[in-house]
Amino acid sequence: MHPAFSVIFFTTSSGAGYGLLALVAVASALGFVPASGWFAVVSLGPATALIVAGLLASTLHLGHPERAWRAFSQVRSSWLSREGVAAVLTFLPMAVFGIAWAFCGRSDGVFALVGLFAALCATVTVFTTAMIYRSLKPIHQWHNRWTVPNYLALSFATGGLLLDALVQIWGRPQAVVGIAALVFVAMAAYLKHRYWNFIDTTKSASTPESATGLGARGKVRFLDAPHTEENYLQKEMGFAIARKHAVKLRAIARHSAFHLPFLLTAASLLLTGMPAALAAVAAAVFGIAGTLVERWLFFAEAKHAVTLYYGASEV
């Protein structure tokens, strides 16, 4: 699939934003982050900014962005519609929780429950985003059991790294926040490894024989191109990345999204003061940069079954 930067930015930015929102709400309810109203601003503010930036970027990939509102009309049958509804609904409890915490200094009692509900809504939104891709049967690299867990793990990993950085900058580090970030990063690394292993070792059920319906007659081979010039399907669905480039980019994603953030977060737990804060910030920066590379690969390595009609031997 052709990796559109707007979608890559959307999945990375909104994933980190929803992950940060969910973890801030849970950590606040458990008393693991500063109770100050100002901390609500410096934590929920970036979460909201990342979410909004991601959602706005997602409209850039539409042929007619002005018709984006129609995405809300197919909730019963479309994961895209469910994502849109979930994204909007998340803003309601998030706004109540944020206003109560920032302006009234209340993040306990009923407001803590509202925050936990916002965390649940944020998690559901990331889940619906993942299901948009998981539900596409023609794309073997997406239609598998590893897609949804990977989306959720990356969201919590980037959100956890951001929260740890914010707590460290605030000057009141909590070991449990850093440890949680380590757990989420390790989980995301493991699930990404399993995902890559799956797409490398399994083949799609779609073949030229099944695509053409001529399997009963024997092996189907490509005789001639259906047209003389590249069309939209070939550009968007037939994008191919060389294996050597994929290997290099996977290594970059592993080191930047998982290995370096893990080591830097571990270092921030052992350090104090400014060095600890700098290590946590660097971990968050590397984590998000690596996730951008990982998201690019998620699209670039995907192969649509339609390419079987244009000479591909497998997807």
pLDDT digits (tens, 9 = 90+) for 49-78: 999 999 888 887 766 666 666 777 788 889
C-alpha distance from residue 148 to each of 10, 37, 181, 183 (Å): 16, 34, 19, 18
> Is the model's pLDDT at 220 over the cut of 90?
no
Q: What number of residues does the chain have? A: 315
In this prediction, residue 43 has a pLDDT band, given cuts at 50, 70 and 90, of very high
Which pair of structure tokens corresponds to residue 48? Answer: 């909201």
Residue 157 CA to residue 15 CA, distance in Å, equals 9
pLDDT digits (tens, 9 = 90+) for 3-13: 888 899 999 99
Percent of the chain residues topping a pLDDT of 90: 67
The one-letter code for the residue type at 171 is G
CATH code for the structural domain at 5-216+229-310: 1.20.1630.10
pLDDT of residue 63: 66
Predicted TM-score (pTM) of this structure: 0.92
Percent of the chain residues topping a pLDDT of 70: 91
> Is the model's pLDDT at 234 over the cut of 70?
no
Give residue limits of the domains in the chain.
Answer: 5-216+229-310
> Is the model's pLDDT at 112 over the cut of 90?
yes
In this prediction, residue 295 has a pLDDT band, given cuts at 50, 70 and 90, of very high
Which pair of structure tokens corresponds to residue 288? Answer: 């998000």
Which pair of structure tokens corresponds to residue 173? Answer: 């580090």
Name which of 128, 99, 114, 103 is nearest 18 in CA terms: 128
In this prediction, residue 228 has a pLDDT band, given cuts at 50, 70 and 90, of low
Name which of 201, 198, 164, 168 is nearest 183 in CA terms: 164
Average pLDDT value for the chain: 90
The one-letter code for the residue type at 281 is V
